[in-house]
Chain A
Amino acid sequence: MIAVVDYRAGNLTSVKKALDHLGADAIVTRDPEVVAQAGKIILPGVGHFSATAILEETGLRTAILRRIEKGVPFLGVCVGMQWMFESSAEAPGTPGLGLFAGACGRFPQSVKSPHVGWNSLTCHEGSRLLRGIPLDSFVYFTHSYSAPVVNSTVARCEYGGEFSAAVEQGNVFGVQFHPEKSGALGLKLLENFCGLRC
């Protein structure tokens, strides 16, 4: 069972709808007990980084971390991926999980913000999440903050500078773009995640 974590931010229906379309056994939950039983976890996200504070207050953060330590595959989407870094300039008082080093920052004034639309990826080979996805694919982004390029970056994107479009390390995965809104390629990525064995 895939737990799609509901933290009362943004719109979860599109992620759930995509998983349903793929025939995956997914449930939307805000219950740490359900997360503690999950075989895979997805943390979707559209919205403000400060919304992740509720994960701490509700015990979801601890439940998610325990499952990650057990090797359960975890996928953070958009703000869900940003939360995997140490912090974000969007909400300096709200700590991230710190799975990846660095802080998320705002786009420079030289480009329009939010970064909205289909941008091309520069993918590294060998990613399990991006298997079968062409190295220069277009995917859909919508965000005002972005994560730095780190050792675990498996896809980069360029917009007012380079940022991490996808990160991957062991059983933890993150994507800044929206696979549930990126057409057939996005569905392929979600299918890859659903098929992971860790």
Chain B
Amino acid sequence: MLTKRIIACLDVTAGRVVKGVQFEQLRDAGDPAELAAAYGQAGADEVVLLDISATHEKRTTLIETVRKTARQLFIPFTVGGGIRSLDDAIAVFEAGADKISINSAALADPSLITSIAERYGSQAVIVAIDAKRINGEARFEAHVSGGRNPTGRDAVTWAREAEERGAGEILLTSMDRDGTGAGFDCDLTCACSEALHIPVIASGGGGDTESFVEVFQHGKADAALAASIFHFGLHSVGDLKRELQSAGIPVRWPC
């Protein structure tokens, strides 16, 4: 049976893992290569490395960090942040990434999705969407540049277009819940998952085990991504997966 994935996310800036709350207030959380290897050992199903400084500082992703992190990692490894062209993507793949994640650049030029998918396959292209509720209603607007700029695009409509253009997965982050531990936005996740035929990774708000159970059962997520709860020792990946299994969620456990 295909299991629900638990993905550990490393937000990286200047070669260090950091984590913020609602996209701000960054705290240092360690070395990317060491943390990635530890999460792999602990039972994470995938690791995502996001260069969160890349877009607004217009820097390319830290290729050396990617190479070091990939070296000892034998589970799927996604890299995002600052990938603005096919050449940027090629450099990241050649450094050892299995998938790339694109956000602002895909909205600016949706044909980038297709050009990367044609070269590396759709399974290697994740379109990341940072979504925020509009006036507290169950409508969501996509934001770019690390959440700084609203786009006027409906997040679910954009996700559907990304799928049509060749995205293999959608990484959907609730900006309202990011780093709060208050639970995933199941309305957002479910709306997207039901509208698409590709897997949806829920992100933003993961806290207690119940929040993960809810996003899989009610949010219909295919995978859930979290960062803070793992970095700061609130939850070990292994404990979380064991508890999910007890709650009847199919997970890869023991690993």
Contacts and interface: CB of A to CB of B under 8 A. Distances in A.
Do these two chains really belong together in a complex? yes
Interface of A: 10-11, 13-14, 17-18, 21, 46-48, 109, 112-120, 138, 140, 142-144, 158-159, 178, 180-184, 186-187
B70 A116 contact: no
A115 B74 CA distance: 19
B169 A46 contact: no
Contacts of B95: 13
Contacts of A184: 74, 255
B130 interface: no
Secondary structure dominating the interface of A: mixed
Interface residues of B, number: 35
B21 interface: no
B196 to A, nearest CB: 8
B74 A18 contact: yes
B40 interface: yes
B74 A187 contact: yes
Choose among B1, B118, B123 the residue with the greatest number of A CB atoms under 10 Å from its CB.
B123
Nearest to B123: A142
Contact of A118 (B93, B197, B198, B252): B252
A186 B197 CA distance: 28
A193 to B, nearest CB: 15
A181 B199 contact: no
Contacts of A119: 1-3
A46 B2 contact: no
A140 B2 contact: no
27 contacts: A10-B120, A13-B95, A13-B96, A14-B98, A46-B98, A46-B121, A46-B124, A47-B120, A112-B222, A114-B123, A116-B169, A116-B199, A117-B199, A119-B1, A120-B1, A120-B3, A140-B75, A140-B76, A142-B123, A143-B123, A158-B1, A159-B2, A180-B74, A181-B74, A181-B98, A182-B74, A182-B75
B80 to A, nearest CB: 16
Contacts of A117: 2-5, 45, 199, 222-223
A114 B120 contact: no
A25 B108 CA distance: 44
B168 interface: yes
Contacts of B218: none
B120 A181 contact: no
A113 B222 CA distance: 12
Nearest to B94: A13
B173 interface: no
A178 B99 CA distance: 14
Interface string B45-84: 1000000000000000000000000111011100000000
Interface string B79-109: 0000000000000011111100000000000
Contacts of B40: 183
Contacts of A181: 74-76, 98
A142 B95 CA distance: 20
A48 B94 CA distance: 18
Nearest to B196: A112
A183 B74 contact: yes
Given A21-B74, A46-B120, A182-B75, 9 more contacts: A47-B121, A115-B2, A116-B199, A117-B223, A143-B123, A178-B76, A181-B75, A181-B98, A186-B74
A112 B97 CA distance: 23
Contacts of B122: 114, 144
Nearest to B96: A13
Nearest to A141: B2
Choose among B75, B222, B255 the residue with the greatest number of A CB atoms under 10 Å from its CB.
B75
Given A10-B121, A47-B121, A183 B75 contact: yes
A18 to B, nearest CB: 6
Contact of A183 (B5, B71, B124, B255): B255
B199 A112 contact: yes
Question: Which 5 residue pairs spanning A and B have beta carbons closest together?
Answer: A47-B121, A142-B123, A138-B252, A118-B252, A119-B2
Contact of A116 (B1, B93, B123): B123
